[in-house]
Amino acid sequence: MQSERLDYALNMLLEGEDINLLKKHAERISEDYRDGTGPSKRIVNDAKKAKAYAASRMPATYRAVYDSLRYVISVSDLCVSSVLDVGAGTGAGIFACTDLLQAEDITLLEREESMISIGKQLFSCDSLLSSARWIKASVQDIGTDKKYDLVTASYVMNELNEEDMLRTAEKLWDITGDTLLIVEPGTPKGYANILVIRDILLQKGAYITAPCTHAGKCPMVEDDWCHFYCRVQRSRLHKQLKGGEAPFEDEKYSFMAFSKKEAQLPELRVLRRPRIYKGHIMLTVCSKEGIQNITVTKKEKERYRDAGKLKAGDAFY
């Protein structure tokens, strides 16, 4: 799923830009992220870099939030009027939310002026987003006087130290009216962040809506981590920025959604790409009983047909 709205806004933003310069900034940003993030590292802190971030990363972060939210919507009757996106960057998460949900009251909180400025330019091209409210602040200073039906934080928790991250997660939970969605890079560190947040929010009475199939201990063993892939089609500009001719790239992400209401969780969550053989399909799934390898045979007709369409991250029954 590509966002026509995001593609249009990015095309408008990047018209006439020097691609080689954008590429140089995009490469620098990836190197800086590879070297590690942290509270004192301000990686995207000027307008050129923010534009390069938008061009090179927004299609993938949009897609990770879109897929995560779709999994949430499939098990809950999520209906939102207000949304808050923190560490919003240039607004990818809000494009995803508003492609899936109708929200009138949209707020984005971000600490870098450069990101806000590029985000505002992108939003000015979109009738659903032109009245969104941007707040320049640190996520640690977020006010607790207002609640939002949906609160999202994508690819930001890994930029905080652990203490700030946990305090922020609790605060975000306090201002959540219905659902809190956390998306992180699909790395061992991103998943570890999600796990500690899972622990503290379960203690605060949160219900998980996705991706877990239960609220018990996560069955992933030490050298494995829960993450999924989303496939991002690459535009001509994207290919120029990232190099190579591949028509798509796979974005790895980890996520978790917490709700104030209990949801009917799926029996099984597919953890890996299904292995399709002649007459049977093998699935690695997470369930209440732990991680299991199950086989669906052609004899199971409808279930076999459904299994053939699955990808990692999908629910199964």
**Bridge partners, residue 85, by sequence:** 108, 152
| DSSP SS3 for 287 | strand
Please, what is the minimum distance in Å from the beta carbon of residue 88 to ligand SAM?
A: 5
Closest to ligand SAM by CB, 58 vs 72, is 58
Burial environment of residue 306 by CB neighbours within 10 A (0 to 12, 13 to 18, 19 or more): middle
Closest to ligand SAM by CB, 3 vs 61, is 61
Closest to ligand SAM by CB, 53 vs 225, is 53
Please, what is the minimum distance in Å from the beta carbon of residue 233 to ligand SAM?
A: 17
Please, what is the minimum distance in Å from the beta carbon of residue 51 to ligand SAM?
A: 13
Closest to ligand SAM by CB, 11 vs 140, is 140
Burial 148-181 (b: 16+ CB within 10 A, else e): bbbbbbbbbbbbbeeeebbebbebbbebbbbbbb
Q: Round to whole Å and give the CA distance between 60 and 4.
A: 14
* Residue 156 and residue 87 in contact, taking contact as beta carbons nearer than 8 Å: yes
Closest to ligand SAM by CB, 108 vs 212, is 108
Interacting residue ranges for ligand SAM, rule: CB under 6 A: 44, 57-58, 61, 87-89, 92-93, 110-112, 115, 138-140, 154-156, 159-160
Closest to ligand SAM by CB, 164 vs 267, is 164
Q: Round to whole Å and give the CA distance between 76 and 206.
A: 14
Please, what is the minimum distance in Å from the beta carbon of residue 209 to ligand SAM?
A: 20
Please, what is the minimum distance in Å from the beta carbon of residue 92 to ligand SAM?
A: 4
Q: Which residues contact 295 (CB under 8 A, 6 or more apart)?
A: 280, 281, 282, 283
From 212, 199, 135, 133, select the one nearest 169 (Cα to Cα).
Answer: 199
DSSP label at residue 3: -
Please, what is the minimum distance in Å from the beta carbon of residue 61 to ligand SAM?
A: 3
Closest to ligand SAM by CB, 110 vs 178, is 110
DSSP label at residue 213: S
Closest to ligand SAM by CB, 175 vs 294, is 175
Please, what is the minimum distance in Å from the beta carbon of residue 242 to ligand SAM?
A: 16
| Greatest CA separation for the chain | 59
Please, what is the minimum distance in Å from the beta carbon of residue 62 to ligand SAM?
A: 7
247 upstream amide cis, omega within 30 of 0: no
Q: Round to whole Å and give the CA distance between 265 and 256.
A: 13
Give the residue closest to ligand SAM by C-beta: 89
Q: Round to whole Å and give the CA distance between 90 and 54.
A: 6
